[in-house]
Amino acid sequence: MTNTPTDEREVEPENSATPVPASSTTPAPPAPAPVPFWQRPLVERFLVPLVLPVAVVVGLVAYVLNISRIFLSGHGHIPVIIGTIITVMILLGATLLSVNSDRLRQSAVTLVGAAFIFSIMSAGWLVVGSAQPKETGPTTLSETLKVTQPPIPVTAAPGGKLAFAPSQLKAKTGLAKFDVSVAGAGHTFTMQDPSTLMQQLVLNAAGTKVSGVAFFSKAGSYTFYCSVPGHEAAGMKGEVVVTGPPVTLDKALTDAGNPPGAVAGGGAAG
């Protein structure tokens, strides 16, 4: 009996998979997303409750100030229209932001909010120049100023009439002083042209004399009248015929011997 030799070695299958050693390193977990500044615990708990009321108050103050500038500088219905448009824009923008806040990015919300704040601020700053008082020259001249020509006499309401006597006066360019005798009380002596810088004379005491100084920069005809309603229309008016070369106020003051700054003593009467 023939013994068949056997191979004691095990034959591995050709298609057997070779085991792959496990990697010695594991992938790092993803880095946590950065927390926005305003959502940090301490900021959200302590800083936001402090900053938010201050921001609201500052915004309201800015809104009121700018709206007031619009009303102070505008005329007629223009301030009301502008103020209404700005208010409607703010309300409409706030509504859109509240409705679409979940769908808008934080950057878009910030941009829209900044646009509305800019519209409020710019509306007032555009007219701030009109709202602020302007530096102007003297409104009237003092009756104590020196003049180079004799005082010009005129009588108000002679014999109770609504008139000035004489109704036509003559003067030269520069400073001129008017001595108004009050024959009848309850009237005024007023220059129609504001460039004369003469204060309105109130004639309330019969039998007295009231004086005022006017400035005539050039030759021409200047109207004076009583500003009491109805008196000018009834004939209580006249004119001053001025002759002479043109002159500036500074030169007229200097020629009459007035000290520098003498105009500051003027003030409106009446």
Least confident residue range of 14-18, 153-157, 163-167, 260-264? 14-18
Determine, yes or no, domain membership for 269. no
Does 156 lie in the same domain as 126?
Answer: no
Tell me the HSE value of 22 on the side-chain side, using a 13 A CA sphere. 4
Does 256 lie in the same domain as 176?
Answer: yes
- Residue-wise pLDDT for 58-115, tens only, equals 766 776 776 666 666 555 566 667 767 777 777 776 676 666 655 555 555 566 666 6
- Residue-wise pLDDT for 125-156, tens only, equals 554 444 444 444 557 899 999 999 999 999 99
**Residue-wise over 220-243: b if at least 16 C-beta within 10 A, else e?**
eebebbbeeeebbeeebbbbbebe
Does 107 lie in the same domain as 46?
Answer: yes
Does 111 lie in the same domain as 48?
Answer: yes
d(CA 142, CA 199): 8
Does 159 lie in the same domain as 92?
Answer: no
Domain of residue 125 covers: 39-131
d(CA 181, CA 153): 8
- Residue-wise pLDDT for 162-205, tens only, equals 999 999 999 999 999 999 999 999 999 999 999 999 999 999 99
Does 241 lie in the same domain as 200?
Answer: yes
Provide the number of structural domains found in the chain.
2
Decide if pLDDT at 38 tops 50.
yes
Determine, yes or no, domain membership for 28. no
Identify the CATH number of the domain in which residue 174 sits: 2.60.40.420
d(CA 48, CA 135): 45
Kindly report whether the global pTM for this prediction surpasses the value 0.75. Answer: no
Phi, psi of 54 (to 5 degrees): -65, -45
Determine, yes or no, domain membership for 10. no
d(CA 55, CA 19): 67
Location of structure tokens 């109770």: 160
SS3 of 89-131: the string is HHHHHHHHHHHHCCCCCHHHHHHHHHHHHHHHHHHHHCCHHHH
Does 127 lie in the same domain as 82?
Answer: yes
Widest CA span in the chain: 178
